[in-house]
Amino acid sequence: MSLEGNWMVLLQQNQLKSVMAANQKTERHGLVLSEQDAELILEEKNNVLREQRRVEFGEGITARIIDEFCDSDFVDQNNYVQTVIRLQEIFYLYKNEMNDEITDDELLHLMKEQFELICFGDLDYLEGTCLNIFAQAIRAGYQGYQSSEGYEEYARFDEVQRWDYELYFETLKELCWG
């Protein structure tokens, strides 16, 4: 086996160890990956990297995605593997769509916050609406996310009118209690 082949095998082994080590944290949230699950996730990540024409060195993003999303109310053991696979796809798609202007951490924070608070676990909405709108802003020159590390940024660009909870409760009180 060539030096390049040895290097690639070693990199894959290290990424597998990193993903499996995440079980120590995720099991507190009822999430555990088998070695087969981890291998599938990493195989799908490699497919996405090829598809998106990206290269990844070191530990990679998979363990960081797992770490960021493991405490989500919308991820459970039944959808865990597929959710991680899909989050990897979305992550690399939007690294490209945002022209690598946003750091990995900023994108992960933005993804998690929208996944929880806006999308309520809907990966299609995260990909097709939230991140798409934000990517357009970044391509247009927006850089405000840098000071916030990606937190609380989406509301600046959200085109969907959300409920005003205070107004809702005030109206409910008037209707119920006159």
Q: Is the pLDDT of residue 160 over 70?
A: no
- What pLDDT score was predicted for residue 159? 61
Question: Looking at residue 161, what DSSP letter applies?
Answer: P
Q: Across residues 29-53, what is the average pLDDT?
A: 93
Say yes or no: 87 and 104 in one domain: no
Residue type, 47: N
Are residues 38 and 20 in contact, defined by beta-carbon separation less than 8 angstroms?
yes
Residue-number span of the structural domain to which 140 is assigned:
100-178
Say yes or no: 85 and 105 in one domain: no
- What pLDDT score was predicted for residue 161? 54
Structure tokens at 178: 């006159």
Are residues 104 and 54 in contact, defined by beta-carbon separation less than 8 angstroms?
no
Residues in the chain: 178
Say yes or no: 108 and 155 in one domain: yes
Return the biggest CA–CA distance within the chain. 80
What is the pTM assigned to this prediction?
A: 0.81
Domain end call among 97, 117, 151 = 97
pLDDT tens profile 129-155: 989 998 998 898 888 777 666 666 666
Question: Looking at residue 118, what DSSP letter applies?
Answer: T
